[in-house]
Amino acid sequence: MTTARYDFNFDQGSTESITFDYTSGDVGIDLSGYSAEMQIRRSPSDTKIVCLLNDSYPNGCFGPGLTGPSFVAGSGVILGTGGIQLNYNGVTGAIRLVIDKETTFGAFTDSRLFYDFELSTGGVVTKVLSGKINVGRAVQGDTRVAASFIGTPGVSGAAG
């Protein structure tokens, strides 16, 4: 399966929640026994991380804390509730990503960031999604558009 590409629009200082389905032939893939990780960086080649999500929801969202706008793997801090939920709400193949408002406020200081989302099982790592995150400043009453993905037909979802 090739990596789907999707660019997100997030607001600095807002809790961001994205739900999508991981499928094969329009059938959800059971993600029991899988682990997941999403890394967000200032550039694809940057060695420091702006935000890291893993499947330890609700304690799976890590930001730089007071150390600055980025951190190295293993040194991030949990500021609020977030992370990745696999087979979300008991739905086979459903994935939910949550980044808390504390992390987006302190870490999403650039107008554009880059991410990769990976699933792994049995020692095999699969990059599922990658793209850019366009960061805006929260404006009360802004309108959101449902997510649509470019590329692999095995990924679909909506911004939430």
Q: What would the two tokens of residue 78 be?
A: 């949990």
Return the pLDDT at 8. Answer: 94
Query: Does residue 153 carry a pLDDT above 60?
Result: no
Q: Give the span between the Cα atoms of 139 and 130, in whole angstroms.
A: 26
Candidates 107, 146, 84, 91; CA nearest to 13 is 107
Q: What per-residue confidence (pLDDT) applies to 85?
A: 98
What are the tens digits of pLDDT across the range 79-130?
A: 889 999 999 999 999 999 999 998 998 899 899 999 999 999 999 999 999 9
CA pair distance 103, 52, nearest whole angstrom:
10
Q: Give the count of alpha carbons within 13 A of 89, CB side only.
A: 7
Question: pLDDT value at position 138?
Answer: 57
Q: Is the pLDDT of residue 141 over 50?
A: no
Cα–Cα dist 92/107, whole Å:
32
Q: What are phi and psi of 105, to 5 degrees?
A: -70, -45
List, for residues 10-67, the tens digit of each pLDDT value. 999 899 999 999 998 889 999 999 999 999 999 999 999 999 999 999 999 999 877 6
pLDDT the model gives residue 1: 59
What is the model's pTM?
Answer: 0.84
